[in-house]
Structure 1
Amino acid sequence: MDPKLILMVCLFLIPVTAIADYVRPQPRKTLRFSWNPKPPNYPQQVHISLAGDRHMRVTWVTVDKYSPSIVEYGTSPGRYSSIAKGESTSYSYLFYSSGKIHHTVIGPLEHNTIYFYRCGGQGPDLQLKTPPAQFPVTFAVAGDLGQTGWTKTTLDHIDRCNYDLHLLPGDLSYADYLQHRWDTFGELVQPLASARPWMVTEGNHEEENIPLLKDGFESYNSRWKMPFEESGSSSNLYYSFEVAGVHVIMLGSYVDYDEQSDQYRWLKVDLSKVDRKKTPWLIVLFHVPWYNSNKAHQGEGDDMMMAMEPLLYAANVDIVLAGHVHAYERTKRVNTGRVDPCGTVHITIGDGGNREGLAHRYVNPQPEWSVFREASFGHGELKIVNSTHAFWSWHRNDDDEPVRSDQVWITSLISSGCVAEKKNELRKILVAP
């Protein structure tokens, strides 16, 4: 063969190899959980969440209806210097009856400290780490988890991350009316959720409403109690909390959100209490994205955006995290559909590992406000470094290895002059009837 021809063939092949598209992973099967019987009073499905300043809520389930809702805890393994007593609940769902679901608040706790604890006077010696009191603070972020092989990979990757809290913008277990799937999900996430606070909000797969028989979100509300009362909310479906200079608001995409709704009125009150000197970062989570250039779930967030975006814009929300769409997307700072330096960065991260697979099709041409988009499973990490700078990275699940595929430094609006410019705008909205 002519050497010149061989050279031409090689030169032609090299760039093709270099620009080959990433091969997206296929969906994986739902995990199978072997039957592992435990004593009736053995604590199962343990997870923790923040419960106001320097307090933590410990949640677990027992088969035994008489097991006490107590948590023993201290800073040395096996030596418990404190004990707290909590409350319990249970629910029935058609032919299913839950175990006894315990919720016990412990504290006050020291910041950035490892505590050892035991639930109900039984079971193993568990440990948790409280978040820091000041920057830096790191959030792991993954939505639409489910219980598949990709879910397990996502959780394994998060476990390697040196994070302080997990943020989950809806669609946890994908139980979808099969209540035992809530139990297997609780067991699946316990290794992580018992060690770091999991702060969650509801998605459409949590609703499980049966007209005339069952109200929506009963299973979710019974099992995943968040600090709604501590933040002045009347519903577990929307609440707020503060950690290390960050004010985080969790909103409900599936509860009324118009200007006359309880959620909207609560949001105005909550925003009026935000002190940007104390918490210079303002982050909001909800399930259905407002800015979405994927063909899946197009326009589903429009009504909520129309009602609430003016309020979030006036309040200078830095970042919005959403799920629902089974793909990843990050925007520029945006407001009312246009790039705006005083707008909000929107991140869709509904790609934790759900059983429904990925949303591969995107709207073209790509909108001006959309920076990066890809249909792959993965998780995000948000490190708030100080009052002005945060580092966001998205880690694609590439053959079970975390690959950092998108990253960006984000500058807070408090440092941009936007907060001062919109002060009167926020005041007008907050005082409006």
Structure 2
Amino acid sequence: MSKDQRNMKPNLKTLVILVSFAVVLIIKVNATTGDYIRPPPRRNLQFPWSPKHSSHPQQVHISLAGDKHMRVTWITDDKSAPAVVKYGTSPGKYNSLAEGESTSYSYLFYNSGKIHHTVIGPLEDDTVYYYQCGGKGPEFKFKTPPSEFPITFAVAGDLGQTGWTKSTLDHIDQCKYDVHMLPGDLSYADYIQSRWDTFGELVQPLASARPWMVTQGNHEKEHIPLIKEAFASYNARWKMPYEESGSNSNLYYSFDVAGAHIVMLGSYTDYDQYSDQYSWLKADLAKVDRERTPWLLALFHVPWYNSNEAHQGEGDDMMASMEPLLYAAGVDIVLAGHVHAYERSQRVYNGRSDPCGAVHITIGDGGNREGLAHRFKNQQPEWSVFREASFGHGELKIVNSTHAFWSWHRNDDDEQVRSDQVWITTLRNSGCIAEKGHVMRKILLGP
């Protein structure tokens, strides 16, 4: 071998190593992302100050409040403004009036405006109502959900107030949905209370027109030991129908809409078998009539089934306590947030695929400022069907008493792209509930 050949040999070896590394890298990238290049996070939105009359209603949003009733919530700077809502089925013609309650809160150096909650009704199903908050000011309108199938839910968690949040909200606005469900992490105020105000203004166009049903996440906690209780801001601003559903806490409740019973649970309040939430959930599920509400859904913030590197194991304790209750009751779909990515499972229970378990969907990708959770575990669990770290929202259309169509819409720049979809069949007529009847009676009703 010549001197030149000896000098060339290590160079060829190095070249082979580099080429092999490049090929592996290309394969890995393609396997993870395909042809889609995920966009970077966007900055927080800016909200220029816009002076308003002190009695002008701000941050208007609505939520379901029991059978054929709606809760209207808004804020005024005027502390003496009345908590009244005028409403009717024709623009500018209000033949009904309801009076509610008002509250406010202080948080360190921040003082909220007057927060008004007024329940109106009884209302007709699938009907457009026009309403006015406080007896004067602009007119708003909303549409009540239908009384029967089909019904469509928009779902987006971990919203925040970024450019991607606005993109998500714009896409949801294009969806012909009846109810918005948000599994925690709303404003990302994180102790800065003015961010609650800007979030309320950001979502008002949508939240004043369709009911928003929310539950709390970790960013709602805002606990200051010995100074401020957890969830003070959240509870004051986003009152949900907990009293109407027999709960003693705004952090967990349930509601019926069309033919679905939906349980909203709290990942950040006690959930062990000795807790109030556990006792309430057991009693709530025991009352479910699958003939009247053939679909059974659950929402909470921290996912129980998660193959992302982010927030691994954080839902294990709640899962150990409450999953047997949901399984015994035959819950069809579980929706969660917290992990800033999308993932959909097979029907699953106790850590593995189970035809009688629930479909678990993580959808914590609404547009928050913390960005996406890009890293999934290399070994995809057998129960995991589809996973992707992209901003987006979900749509659940329950077509009838047996079938529902779920789709996830990725934010591709500023266009929505349907990236995952599946038909889901309810467990009501599957035989699962009958097979688990004795288990359900034992768990839900006691020995």
Q: TM-score range by the shorter chain?
A: over 0.9
Partner of 1:203: 217
Does residue 314 of the first structure (1) align with residue 328 of the second (2)?
Answer: yes
Is this contact kept in 1: 2:286–2:445, CA < 8 A?
no
Q: Distance in 1 between matches of 2:157 and 2:251?
A: 16
Q: Distance in 1 between matches of 2:136 and 2:364?
A: 36
Does residue 231 of the first structure (1) align with residue 245 of the second (2)?
Answer: yes
Partner of 2:130: 116
Does residue 382 of the first structure (1) align with residue 396 of the second (2)?
Answer: yes
Is this contact kept in 1: 2:296–2:330, CA < 8 A?
yes
**How many residues in Structure 1 have an aligned counterpart in Structure 2?**
419
Q: Distance in 1 between matches of 2:372 and 2:244?
A: 36
Q: Distance in 1 between matches of 2:174 and 2:78?
A: 34
Report the Cα offset of residue 254 of structure 1: 0.2
Which amino acid in 1 is paired with 2:272?
D
Structure 2 gap segments, 5+ residues each: 1-26
Does residue 263 of the first structure (1) align with residue 277 of the second (2)?
Answer: yes
Helix, strand or coil: the match of 1:310? Answer: helix
Partner of 2:22: none
Q: CA RMSD in A?
A: 1.4
Q: Distance in 2 between matches of 1:17 and 1:145?
A: 28
Partner of 2:406: 392
Task: Show CA shifts across 1:159-188 (max 9, x none).
Answer: 000000000000000000000000000000
Q: Distance in 2 between matches of 1:137 and 1:294?
A: 31
Does residue 158 of the first structure (1) align with residue 149 of the second (2)?
Answer: no
Q: Distance in 1 between matches of 2:55 and 2:407?
A: 41
Q: Distance in 2 between matches of 1:92 and 1:275?
A: 42
Report the Cα offset of residue 404 of structure 1: 0.1
Change (3 A) 1:105 1:152: same
Alignment of 1:169-208 (within 5 A): 169-208=183-222
Does residue 336 of the first structure (1) align with residue 344 of the second (2)?
Answer: no
Q: Distance in 1 between matches of 2:316 and 2:384?
A: 17
Does residue 45 of the first structure (1) align with residue 59 of the second (2)?
Answer: yes
Helix, strand or coil: the match of 1:345? Answer: strand
Candidates 28, 33, 37, aligned match of 2:47: 33
Helix, strand or coil: the match of 1:186? Answer: helix
Candidates 59, 73, 76, aligned match of 2:90: 76
Is this contact kept in 1: 2:56–2:76, CA < 8 A?
yes
Helix, strand or coil: the match of 2:428? Answer: helix
Change (3 A) 1:17 1:289: closer
Q: Distance in 1 between matches of 2:407 and 2:236?
A: 33
Does residue 352 of the first structure (1) align with residue 381 of the second (2)?
Answer: no
Helix, strand or coil: the match of 1:429? Answer: helix
Candidates 86, 89, 110, aligned match of 2:100: 86
Q: Distance in 2 between matches of 1:170 and 1:28?
A: 20
Which amino acid in 1 is paired with 2:434?
A
Q: Tell me whether 106-115 or 18-27 shows the greater mean CA deviation.
A: 18-27
State the 4+ residue runs in structure 1 displaced beyond 4 angstroms. 15-20
Q: Distance in 1 between matches of 2:82 and 2:166?
A: 32
Is this contact kept in 1: 2:346–2:384, CA < 8 A?
yes
Does residue 145 of the first structure (1) align with residue 172 of the second (2)?
Answer: no
Report the Cα offset of residue 20 of structure 1: 4.6
Partner of 1:245: 259
Q: Distance in 2 between matches of 1:86 and 1:20?
A: 53
Task: Show CA shifts across 1:6-42 (max 9, x none).
Answer: xxxxxxxxx9999953101110000000100100000
Which amino acid in 2 is paired with 1:147?
Q
Task: Show CA shifts across 1:197-216 (max 9, x none).
Answer: 00000000000000010000
Task: Show CA shifts across 1:351-381 (max 9, x none).
Answer: 0000000000001210000000000000000
Q: Distance in 2 between matches of 1:388 and 1:431?
A: 26
What is the percentage of aligned positions where both structures have the same residue? 77
Q: Distance in 2 between matches of 1:83 and 1:292?
A: 47
Does residue 420 of the first structure (1) align with residue 440 of the second (2)?
Answer: no
Is this contact kept in 1: 2:158–2:185, CA < 8 A?
yes
Q: Distance in 2 between matches of 1:71 and 1:172?
A: 25
Helix, strand or coil: the match of 1:414? Answer: coil
Which amino acid in 1 is paired with 2:367?
G
